[in-house]
Amino acid sequence: MAGKKRWRALLAAAVLLCLCGCGRFTGESGETDGEQYIIYYTNLEGTRLEERSYTPQSDSFDGIMTELLEQFQTPMDIEVDSAMPDGVEINQCTMGIDEIQVDFNGAYLGISNVQEVLLQAGLVKTLVQLPGVMRVRFTVDGQPLTDDDGYEVPAMDKNTFIDSRGEGINSYHYVTLNLYFANQAGDMVSRETRNVFYSSNLITEELIVEQIIRGPANDNLQPVADPSVTINSVDISRGICEIDLGSSFNQVPTGCTADPEICLYAFVNAICDACDVEGVRFAIDGESNVRFRDQVNLDQVFVRNADVIEAEGRETEPLTEIYLNPEGEETETAAPAAENQPEQVQPEQVQPETAREEETTGTTTADQSGLPGVDPALLRGSSL
């Protein structure tokens, strides 16, 4: 294993990853809209990422990847620097099923936390534009990176490093969230666990709401809200989380047959699990005197309901990790086995007495920060 990199310290590093709004952004599949790619460099001060457009000459996957890496390491614009610190070199890049494994030389272990954040963010956001590439995994001299506790640092995607609301990142947080979505029958919620790497500019309650709105990673679960739902506000008042959502929240999302009350408890249970609140109130465009999807009165406080959580083992899948960026984009990745997972970081809970039944609940896990090493049997094709 590579030496224990200060991954925890990296997450708390006060780094400004101001991602410019210019240029073309990639779609959910990782494919570009045309021939133009965005290469991510750093500013001359080495404090944030800068974007520059580039059109590859090659039309093959290997050729384009080679050109992107060459441009990444040697910028043509004198107003930006490469995010690759002096002495650090790429030994090899190998394409797997949907991720690229980048192997650095040993000099990588000597770079600062700030340099590591910028290098990882710039390289990941550059490479995931390649068709079919969802994630990037880093190794050093063939060995996976590990954190202070010996856990393998997971594969990363374009949403690993976020700058919420464009305000700049004050610090990084890495949190494990228990999210809930409707089960296949639509009569209960099933838990999906995500490891999320996010900015302190975003409160945990709002992060949970955003994640649930984006939908489940597990195909066996149903969405409880349309992805287009806007978040007007998320506030805490006297121990109650008050959520005000846009009008589309009152519409049944595509593919959802779940009972409206089940959809509400997906939010309620997740927030009560992770946050120091006693209940949740909903409003739609500022109005709580609304019947949610013509069935449930929103003018009340909803408390955690363990009775609607599906029993253990019925919808379990590998953990997924979520990475967020300023554009609100994200992807999911499978995570390592449970014994290799990072310690869960969750605020202390305050729950009604009827809700203390954690051990009996089912879990579907989906994570956006941790992945096992690339299986050599899955590696194919491209290498540099």
DSSP 8-state assignment for residue 225: S
Asked whether residue 281 falls in the same domain as residue 343, the answer is yes
Asked whether residue 353 falls in the same domain as residue 251, the answer is yes
pLDDT the model gives residue 356: 36
pTM: 0.49
- Residue of 2, 321, 11, 333 lying closest to 139 (CA atoms): 2
Q: Is residue 101 part of a domain?
A: yes
Q: Is residue 91 part of a domain?
A: yes
Asked whether residue 202 falls in the same domain as residue 127, the answer is no
Asked whether residue 140 falls in the same domain as residue 232, the answer is no
In this structure, which amino acid lies at residue 349?
Q
CB contact at 8 A, 212 and 190? no
Asked whether residue 204 falls in the same domain as residue 106, the answer is no
- Cα–Cα distance for residue pair 139/371, rounded to 1 Å: 12
Q: At what angle do helices 61-73 and 113-127 cross, to 10 degrees?
A: 150
CB contact at 8 A, 68 and 84? no
Provide the β-strand partners of residue 222: 182
Q: Please, which pLDDT band fits residue 164 given cuts at 50, 70 and 90?
A: very low
Asked whether residue 136 falls in the same domain as residue 215, the answer is no
Asked whether residue 95 falls in the same domain as residue 199, the answer is no
- Collapsing DSSP to helix, strand or coil, 62 comes out as helix
pLDDT the model gives residue 199: 62
φ, ψ at 51 (rounded to 5°): -105, 140
pLDDT > 90? residue 133: yes
Least confident of 83-87, 88-92, 202-206, 211-215: 202-206
pLDDT the model gives residue 135: 92
Asked whether residue 120 falls in the same domain as residue 22, the answer is yes
Asked whether residue 334 falls in the same domain as residue 237, the answer is yes
Higher pLDDT: 23 or 67? It is 67
Residues 343, 344, 346, 351: what is their CA dihedral angle, to the nearest 10 degrees?
-130
pLDDT > 80? residue 197: no
Average pLDDT over the chain, rounded to whole? 75
Q: Please, which pLDDT band fits residue 359 given cuts at 50, 70 and 90?
A: very low
Domain boundary among 90, 117, 144: 144
Q: Is residue 256 part of a domain?
A: yes
Sheet holding 80-81: strands in order across?
Answer: 49-54, 37-43, 80-81
- Cα–Cα distance for residue pair 281/277, rounded to 1 Å: 11
pLDDT the model gives residue 201: 64
Q: Is residue 95 part of a domain?
A: yes
Domain boundary among 112, 144, 176: 144
pLDDT > 90? residue 210: yes
User: Which residues constitute the domain of residue 267?
Assistant: 185-365
The alpha helices in 175-256, defined as continuous H runs, are: 204-214
Asked whether residue 197 falls in the same domain as residue 308, the answer is yes
pLDDT > 80? residue 188: yes
Q: Is residue 320 part of a domain?
A: yes
Number of domains in the chain: 2
Q: Is residue 245 part of a domain?
A: yes
pLDDT > 50? residue 110: yes
In the chain, % of residues over pLDDT 90: 49
Q: Is residue 2 part of a domain?
A: no
Q: Is residue 112 part of a domain?
A: yes
At 276, list the tokens: 């120091």
pLDDT the model gives residue 229: 96
Q: How far apart are the first and last CA of the chain?
A: 22
β-pair type (279-284, 240-245): parallel
Asked whether residue 198 falls in the same domain as residue 289, the answer is yes
Residues in the chain, total: 384
pLDDT the model gives residue 134: 92
Place of tokens 């051990």: 359
Buried b (16+ CB within 10 A) or exposed e, 41-76: bbeeeeebbbbbebebeeeeeeebbbbbbebbbebe
Q: Please, which pLDDT band fits residue 162 given cuts at 50, 70 and 90?
A: low
DSSP 8-state assignment for residue 303: -
Asked whether residue 89 falls in the same domain as residue 222, the answer is no
- Cα–Cα distance for residue pair 201/325, rounded to 1 Å: 12
- Cα–Cα distance for residue pair 117/169, rounded to 1 Å: 12
pLDDT the model gives residue 189: 96
Higher pLDDT: 232 or 314? It is 232
- Cα–Cα distance for residue pair 229/2, rounded to 1 Å: 43
Q: What is the mean pLDDT of residues 72-76?
A: 92
Buried b (16+ CB within 10 A) or exposed e, 261-292: bbbbbbbbbbbbbbbebbbbbbbbeeeeebeb
- Cα–Cα distance for residue pair 162/165, rounded to 1 Å: 9
